């Protein structure tokens, strides 16, 4: 990231062409940019209609201009927004005009949000929630991200941090009065009780959020099985579009095809794989290898077989750590009910749709169990979980160090305070800031 002394600008709305395009400017030269393009400074936080002009005085567009002087802005700096017509030529002319002003440069990905974080407008968990909200594909992902954007985890973590600081103050006071045994014991005892209560509370939060990270990543379901069993037809049926090529010839699908679904608000990645069989075709062999690899790393495997094939192969080494559901397809072509094998979990016709609603209902139920109450959980990232576990471990060591010296106890509490500070971005987070904010889109 460049210096915060520079003024940045970027398109903060959708890709052109669009009805309206919002161009945002943030930094010490934002006021100069507004005065240069509008010829005057609008009333703060009041929409102002103006004709924007370039440095030569030529009109660029009729625009609604908003002026937010810092620190009362989204980034904590002086901020301006130009709401122009969303044509590519208009946006290009605006970028040319802004780029010709001394001290202005295009923003990098996530730079607006990073400045908001650095200026105390939001903590690191809120910034991550904003990124999750931008990338949310389903309603449940949106609700989870919104909870983090509201700072619920950050507020809870800061409360824990303050309580540990208070306990640490008691321990430090006990150290100061170590020559007076009764006073020292009276100070350390309530600190230990508080430490034990906090450890239990944080552990409970971790347990209740055990599956919350999964909601961000989604559920992966692989459709596997022998060739010509109807895997691509089932994929298209579930996706409600022609996502994969369907052919009566075995081995049509050679590579892995992925489709992202919103399944009752749950994010699901559906994978169509090559038919699993022995073959001498090197291209098909690679497809079979990839099919097996994806099945093994999926969260659920639908093993699709032809209900008319009494010798249909059973799954072998599919889904090492995931359930495998047997799905008998083409039941509409079975001469008599129950033919084609017994014990199948689902009987469907991917072509006609028979039995597919029941399969979808089962997938929704599986997703509900898989994700749990993820959208209501406080913890949604591996980073959160790691730091909270470090905090719990430090508190546990602090509790077990009672009677071994207050200095050791105080040091463990400092470690716990530091871990919670890293969670919200209060301390020592420079090593992860670039990683987090470079995932944002430009203009955010």
The reply, when asked if residue 229 is annotated as ligand binding, is yes
Does 31 show up as a binding residue in the annotation?
no
Number of H helices, E strands in the chain: 14, 12
The DSSP bridge partners found for residue 326 are 303
Instruction: Return the CATH architecture of domain 218-371.
Output: 3-Layer(aba) Sandwich (3.40)
Q: CA-to-CA distance for 395 and 242, rounded, in angstroms?
A: 55
Looking at residue 28, its pLDDT comes to: 95
Tokens describing residue 351: 């072509």
Annotated binding residue at 248? yes
Q: Is the pLDDT of residue 342 over 70?
A: no
Enumerate the domain spans of the chain.
Answer: 7-121, 128-207+381-425, 218-371
| Least confident range of 80-94, 119-133, 240-254, 339-353 | 240-254
C-alpha distances out from residue 256 to 100, 110, 423, Å: 48, 32, 38
Q: Calculate the average pLDDT of the chain.
A: 81
Does the annotation list 249 as a binding residue?
yes
Q: Alpha carbon of 391 to those of 162, 207, 296, 384, 394: distances in Å? A: 13, 14, 34, 11, 5
Q: Is 236 annotated as a binding residue?
A: no
Distance from C-alpha of 88 to C-alpha of 81, rounded to nearest angstrom: 17
Pairing of strands 59-68, 104-106: unpaired
Annotated ligand binding at 159? The verdict is: no
Query: Which of 74, 84, 93 lies closest to 30, judged by CA?
Result: 74
If one compares 180 and 134, the residue with the highest pLDDT of the two is 134
- Considering only the top CATH level, what class is 128-207+381-425? mainly alpha
Q: How far is CA 76 from CA 98, 166, 199, in A?
A: 21, 31, 35
Confidence of residue 392 (pLDDT cuts 50, 70, 90): very high
User: Between the ranges 79-93, 142-156, 257-271, where is the mean pLDDT highest?
Assistant: 79-93
273 is in an annotated binding site: yes
Residue 340: per-residue pLDDT: 40
**Does 228 count as an annotated binding residue?**
yes
Least-confidence region, from 151-160, 169-178, 375-384, 421-430: 169-178
**Residue 253 assigned ligand-binding role:** yes
Bridge partners (DSSP) of residue 258 are 271
Mean pLDDT to the nearest integer, 434-444: 71
Least confident of 1-10, 209-218, 226-235, 276-285: 276-285
Whether residue 251 is annotated as binding a ligand: the answer is: yes
**Is there a binding annotation on residue 24?**
yes
393 annotated binding-site participant: no
Q: 58 a known binding residue? A: no
Question: Which strands make up the sheet holding 346-347, listed edge to edge?
Answer: 257-263, 266-272, 219-224, 300-306, 324-329, 346-347
Q: Is 230 annotated as a binding residue?
A: yes
Find the helix or strand (DSSP H, E) in which 68 lies. strand 59-68
Over residues 384-389, mean pLDDT:
91
pLDDT at 231: 83
The share of the chain scoring above pLDDT 90, in percent, equals 32
The CATH class that applies to domain 7-121 reads: alpha beta
Residue 26, pLDDT above cutoff 90 = yes
295 is an annotated ligand-binding site residue? no
For the cut 70, the answer to whether the pLDDT of residue 202 exceeds it is yes
Tell me if 269 is assigned to a ligand binding site: no
7 is in an annotated binding site: no
What pLDDT does 344 receive? 46
Is 124 in contact with 424 (CB distance < 8 Å)? yes
Q: What are phi and psi of 137, to 5 degrees?
A: -100, -25
pTM, whole model, 2 decimals? 0.70
């Amino acid at each position: 990231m460049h210096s915060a002394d520079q003024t940045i600008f970027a398109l903060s709305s959708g890709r052109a062409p669009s009805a309206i395009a919002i161009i945002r400017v943030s930094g010490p030269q934002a006021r100069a940019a507004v005065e240069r393009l509008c010829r005057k400074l609008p009333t703060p936080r009041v929409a102002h209609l103006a004709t924007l002009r370039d440095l030569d005085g030529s009109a660029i567009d009729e625009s609604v201009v908003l002026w937010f002087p810092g620190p009362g802005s989204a980034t904590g700096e002086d901020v301006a927004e130009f709401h122009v017509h969303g044509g590519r030529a208009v946006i290009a002319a605006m970028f040319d005009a802004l780029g010709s002003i001394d001290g202005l440069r295009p923003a990098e990905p996530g730079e607006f949000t990073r400045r908001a974080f650095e200026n105390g407008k939001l903590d690191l968990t809120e910034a991550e929630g904003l990124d999750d909200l931008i990338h949310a594909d389903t309603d449940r992902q949106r609700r989870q991200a919104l909870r983090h954007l509201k700072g619920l985890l950050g507020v809870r973590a800061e409360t824990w941090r303050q309580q540990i600081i208070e306990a640490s103050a008691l321990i430090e006071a006990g150290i100061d009065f170590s020559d007076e045994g009764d006073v020292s014991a009276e100070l350390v005892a309530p600190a230990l009780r508080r430490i034990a209560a906090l450890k239990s509370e944080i552990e409970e939060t971790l347990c209740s959020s055990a599956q919350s990270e999964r909601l961000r990543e989604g559920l992966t379901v692989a459709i596997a099985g022998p060739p010509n069993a109807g895997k691509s037809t089932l994929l298209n049926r579930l996706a409600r579009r022609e996502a994969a090529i369907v052919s009566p010839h075995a081995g049509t699908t050679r590579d892995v095809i992925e489709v992202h679904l919103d399944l009752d608000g749950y994010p699901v990645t559906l994978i169509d794989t090559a038919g699993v069989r022995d073959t001498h075709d090197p291209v098909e062999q690679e497809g079979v290898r990839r099919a097996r690899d994806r099945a093994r790393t999926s969260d659920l495997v639908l093993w699709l077989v032809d209900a008319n094939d009494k010798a249909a192969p059973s799954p072998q080494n599919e889904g090492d750590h995931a359930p495998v559901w047997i799905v008998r397809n083409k039941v509409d072509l079975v001469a008599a009910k129950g033919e084609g094998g017994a014990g199948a979990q689902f009987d469907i016709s991917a072509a006609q749709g028979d039995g597919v609603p029941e399969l979808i209902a089962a997938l929704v139920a599986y997703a509900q169990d898989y994700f749990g109450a993820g959208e209501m959980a406080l913890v949604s990232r591996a980073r959160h979980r790691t730091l909270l576990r470090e905090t719990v471990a430090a508190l546990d060591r602090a509790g077990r160090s009672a009677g071994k010296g207050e200095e050791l106890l105080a040091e463990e509490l400092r470690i716990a305070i530091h871990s919670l500070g890293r969670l919200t971005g209060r301390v020592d987070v420079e090593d992860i800031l670039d990683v987090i904010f470079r995932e944002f889109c430009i203009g955010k």
